[in-house]
Structure 1
Amino acid sequence: MRIIAKAKKDDYPEYAEMYMKLLPDDGLILNHLKDNFLMVKKLIYSLPEEKLFYRYEKGKWSIKEILVHIIDDERIFSYRALRFARNEKLNLIGFDQDSYATYSEADKRNLDTIFEEYEAVRNSTIALFNGLPEESFDRMGHGTGTGNDATVRALAYHIAGHELHHINFVKEKYL
Structure 2
Amino acid sequence: MSSPAYLAHMQSDDGSLSAADLIATYEEQIDLLRAAVSGLTTEQLRARPIAGKWSTLEVVCHLTDCELYFSERMIRTIALERPLLISVDEGPYPERLNYQSLDINEQLELFTALRRHVARSLKAQPVEGWQRSAVHSGLGLVTLRKLVLYAIRHISHHLPFIAEKRAALK
TM-score bucket of the superposed structures, by smaller chain: 0.7 to 0.9
Deviation at 1:155, TM superposition (A): 1.0
Quickly say closer, same or farther: Cα 1:38–1:151, change in 2 above 3 A: same
Q: Who is 1:4 aligned against? A: none
1:73 pairs with one of 49, 66, 69: 66
Quickly say closer, same or farther: Cα 1:168–1:132, change in 2 above 3 A: same
Q: Who is 1:10 aligned against? A: none
Q: Which whole-Å CA distance do the structure 2 matches of 1:174 and 1:121 have between them?
A: 25
Check whether the contact 1:19–1:161 (CA below 8 A) recurs between aligned residues. Answer: no
| CA deviation vs aligned residue, 1:82-132 (integer Å, no higher than 9, x gap) | 222234345332111112232332221222222221211121121221223
> Could you tell which deviates more after superposition, 87-96 or 69-78?
87-96
Quickly say closer, same or farther: Cα 1:49–1:30, change in 2 above 3 A: same
Q: Which whole-Å CA distance do the structure 2 matches of 1:35 and 1:97 have between them?
A: 25
Mapped pair 1:128 → 2:129: no
Quickly say closer, same or farther: Cα 1:35–1:147, change in 2 above 3 A: closer
1:43 pairs with one of 36, 51, 63: 36
Quickly say closer, same or farther: Cα 1:19–1:64, change in 2 above 3 A: farther
Check whether the contact 1:86–1:136 (CA below 8 A) recurs between aligned residues. Answer: no
Deviation at 1:138, TM superposition (A): 0.7
Q: Aligned residues: percent identity?
A: 23
Work out which structure has the larger RCO, using CA pairs closer than 8 Å and 6 or more positions apart in sequence.
1
- Aligned length, in residue pairs: 159
Deviation at 1:159, TM superposition (A): 1.0
Mapped pair 1:102 → 2:105: no
Q: Which whole-Å CA distance do the structure 1 matches of 2:136 and 2:81 have between them?
A: 11
Mapped pair 1:57 → 2:64: no
Check whether the contact 1:68–1:104 (CA below 8 A) recurs between aligned residues. Answer: no
TM-score, length-normalised on structure 2? Answer: 0.78
Letter in 1 for 2:154: H
Deviation at 1:162, TM superposition (A): 0.6
Letter in 1 for 2:162: V
Check whether the contact 2:61–2:107 (CA below 8 A) recurs between aligned residues. Answer: yes
Q: Which whole-Å CA distance do the structure 2 matches of 1:50 and 1:69 have between them?
A: 18
Secondary structure of 1:96 counterpart:
coil
The alignment's C-alpha RMSD in Å is: 2.6
Deviation at 1:174, TM superposition (A): 4.9
Q: Who is 1:143 aligned against? A: 136
Q: Which whole-Å CA distance do the structure 2 matches of 1:18 and 1:147 have between them?
A: 11
Letter in 2 for 1:156: V
Q: Who is 2:9 aligned against? A: 17
Secondary structure of 2:66 counterpart:
helix
Check whether the contact 1:19–1:164 (CA below 8 A) recurs between aligned residues. Answer: no
Letter in 2 for 1:95: V
Letter in 1 for 2:139: G
